[in-house]
Amino acid sequence: MLVEKQVPLQPYNSFGIAARAERLARIGHPSDLLGLMAQPEWGHSPHFVLGGGSNLVITRDVAGLVLKVEIPGRCLVEESGRGWLVEAGAGENWHDFVAWTLDQGWPGLENLALIPGTVGAAPVQNIGAYGVELQDRFHSLDAIDLDSGRAFTLDAAQCGFGYRDSVFKHAPSDHRGMGLAGRALITRVRFWLPRPWKPVLGYLDLERKMAETGILAPDARQIFDWVVAIRRVKLPDPALIGNAGSFFKNPTVTPEQCADIIARDPRVVHYPMPDGTVKLAAGWLIDACGWKGKTLGHAGVYEKQALVLVNRGDAEHPCTGGEVMTLARAIQTSVYERFGIRLEPEPVVL
């Protein structure tokens, strides 16, 4: 299999950060990986698994071998009166996969339309939007152990899903020794789409669409179209403006902490959670600190949604990962100083 050397990574990360991979191999089939693992140099150099690169900040050239996952394929595994079991290769584009399931007449993923990235990367951060998280539709995934070459399958419980979190984001020592960061390459993912289909419409932006259009019982295709329209208004298209989606997680606080913040600023956007904690809108906190539309170096805060950091560089003056992280730290400091809240970045920082 061909291993390319000194490969520019700019086209492979949605932030559009310029960096190079010392070596890069395209994994189109699990056997490509096993072939690489059989070579003597495998054990001597680090490796990094790259999906769609849409949740990634690259702060340096990447030493060792980048494994670019391009495994294709999508199929119906099983259909019954209870639902559809659908499978996709890890290299499939997430949005195209969602659109394809709807074209086939298998609803359930419509709220997750237009999320950038690949199918294989989706479980890593348990993508979520408009009231649905990947874990709500997840069945199982296949992966390969990067130490032993052994193939294995995980169900939802074994993936340890949390808010924008899974075992794939944790070092081997975390998660009671079950962390799989850097240790596994996801090859295929299966989704369970239950019948009868039930729309998820509780999110404020979707309720607004229902009120505006008067469509009170939308079908899955209608919800898909609404989600695409809402995202296009709020979020920058990575093909035009480099970004990695939401840059920080929405923090959760105790009701007492929330009351304290409300006392300081009654407008704070907050949502009570079923477990008694309160989720705060990080975008609102950042906005309240005056960051919306600001630029530091060649990194900036998107003018329509303060939770998204964007690339304001150009061909002559490219934005570096270091500039993105400098901006991120400045935002964290001002939110901490004003509200006493530590914002946690969402993307993987390399």
CB-wise, 60 or 329, nearer to ligand EPU?
Answer: 329
Residue 75 · residue 40 · CB < 8 Å = no
Is residue 165 a contact residue for ligand EPU (CB under 6 A)? no
One symbol per residue from 181 to 220: x for binding ligand EPU (CB under 6 A), - otherwise; what is it? ----------------------------------------
The tokens 């300081």 sit on which residue? Answer: 264
Which of the 8 DSSP states describes residue 235? S
**Tally of helices (H runs) and strands (E runs) in the chain:** 9, 20
Q: What are phi and psi of 172, to 5 degrees?
A: -50, -30
Within a 10 A sphere around the Cβ of 96, how many other Cβ atoms? 12
The tokens describing 68, both together, are: 């670019």
One symbol per residue from 3 to 42: x for binding ligand EPU (CB under 6 A), - otherwise; what is it? ----------------------------------------
The tokens describing 100, both together, are: 């394809």
The Cα 288–Cα 167 span in angstroms is: 33
CB-wise, 16 or 83, nearer to ligand EPU?
Answer: 16
The Cα 175–Cα 158 span in angstroms is: 10
Name the catalytic one among 20, 164, 190, 312: 164
Scanning 76-84, 276-284, 315-323, 328-336 for contacts with ligand EPU by CB under 6 A, the matching segment is: 276-284
Whether 54 is catalytic is no
In this structure, the chain runs to a length of 350
CB-wise, 307 or 328, nearer to ligand EPU?
Answer: 307
Whether 87 is catalytic is no
Window 290 to 309, contacts with ligand EPU (CB under 6 A):
292, 305-307
Is residue 250 a contact residue for ligand EPU (CB under 6 A)? yes
Whether 22 is catalytic is no
Enzyme catalytic residues: 164, 246, 346
